Homo-oligomer: A and B are copies of this chain.
């Protein structure tokens, strides 16, 4: 409503001092010799005028804009994004920063343009996020701008934040074992080709490795492994149905994600099998779906929010190199029971 923003010069004038003095006082410069009286007058004037520094002008001089660039392939606008962005926004807010969100669709030309756009605005750092953890192509970024890869990795920018998939995978299996399952355990969704795909392996292969090592540690083996190329409910449904028709004695299913699990529920229900009475199910992601299913799906969550948070913390702390692995919390619902 006030027609004009107060500038530092306005504050100084009202306080009867120079802009220099006002600047120093408002920024709490340590070794200045300005009087207590000057401090009081400047603070009062700033308060009276509702003065807020112009960040752009300040940034021009200081090279700090209190602004972070968050560039993602498609994550900004997907269910997976929610947590990533939310965590980032929160951590940024806590540090008095603000976030510029851009989306590239994974297109290198748009990626290049996005980088330029945030650099044009003198961001203090850039976060690259992807929907699927992967090795990410990243155009050149001028040295001096910190970069962290979120849910992605890149050899040129070695600071990255990833879910601790290996441990998460192991936990899913342990959940079953703790309930007494030792036989009839099925792995649903794992796919060698997906696993070999460098652009997805960052996450998938670790999850699978964790699963397998937990099985092995307990001396167990899967009764069946059903491969699925596209991790959607439809495929989970078909795959489970086919498995059941083949007569696989499934007592527990480890699904590679919740959408596959959703499909499995549908097929199981059609076959007259109950969860968890006849078959226990454990899964990954903690998709929104997981809570809607009946019974609720027990799943090892992707810790998106914590990841987003960590990414900006690392960025602002001056990115230590290396991978930050964020633990995947298990969300216990009702889909796991003791074997009949």
B-contacting residues of A (Cβ < 8 Å)?
1-3, 5, 52-57, 59-60, 65, 67, 76-79, 81-83, 85-86, 89-90, 93, 98-103, 110, 116-122, 140-144, 232-233, 237, 259, 262, 266, 269, 288-289, 292, 294
Query: In the assembly, what is the distance between CA of A116 and CA of B232, in Å?
Result: 43
Bound together, the chains give a CA A83 to CA B59 distance in angstroms of 32
**Cβ-defined contact, A101 with B81, below 8 A:** no
A283 to chain B, nearest CB (A): 14
CB-nearest residue of chain B relative to A232? B292
Say yes or no: A56 contacts B52, CB within 8 Å.
no
Q: A81 — which chain B residues lie within 8 A by C-beta? A: 77, 81-82
Q: State the 9 A-B residue pairs at the shortest beta-carbon distance, nearest first.
A: A77-B86, A56-B56, A233-B292, A77-B82, A101-B101, A55-B120, A1-B140, A55-B121, A89-B103
CA A56 – CA B5 in complex, angstroms? Answer: 17
Asked if B89 and A102 sit within 8 Å, CB to CB, the answer is yes
Q: A89-B103, A100-B100 are in contact. Are A53 and B120 (CB under 8 A)?
A: yes
A61 to B264 alpha-carbon distance, docked (Å): 61
Closest to A79 in B: B79
Contacts A3-B142, A77-B85 given; does A259 touch B102 at CB 8 Å: no
CA distance A99 to B85 in the complex (A): 14
Check A120–B77 contact: CB distance below 8 A: no
25 pairs from A and B in contact (CB 8 Å cutoff): A1-B142, A2-B142, A5-B142, A52-B119, A56-B56, A56-B59, A56-B65, A56-B122, A60-B60, A76-B85, A76-B89, A77-B82, A77-B85, A77-B89, A86-B103, A89-B101, A93-B102, A93-B110, A99-B100, A99-B101, A100-B101, A269-B269, A288-B288, A289-B289, A289-B292
Chain B residues with Cβ under 8 A from A232's Cβ? Answer: 292
Cβ-defined partner of A52 (8 Å) among B78, B116, B140, B141 = B116
How close is A119's CB to chain B, nearest CB, in angstroms?
7
Q: Kindly list chain B residues whose C-beta atoms are within 8 Å of the C-beta of A262.
A: 292
B residues within 8 A CB of A117? 98
Extra contacts, 7 of them, besides A76-B89, A81-B81, A98-B117 (Cβ < 8 A), are A1-B141, A55-B122, A57-B60, A76-B86, A89-B101, A98-B102, A288-B288
Given contacts A89-B103, A117-B98, A142-B5, contact A77 B83 (CB under 8 A): yes
Chain B residues lying within 8 Å of A82, measured Cβ to Cβ, are 77-79, 81
CB distance from A165 to the nearest CB of B (A): 23
User: CB-CB < 8 A to A289: which residues of B?
Assistant: 289, 292
CA distance A246 to B64 in the complex (A): 66
* Closest-CB distance, A141 to chain B (whole angstroms): 8
- Chain B residues with Cβ below 8 Å from A121 are 55-56, 65, 67, 98
Taken together as a complex, chains A and B put the C-alpha atoms of A5 and B120 apart, in Å, by 10
How many angstroms from the CA of A118 to the CA of B52 in the assembled complex? 11
For the complex, what is the distance from the CA of A99 to the CA of B82, rounded to whole Å? 17
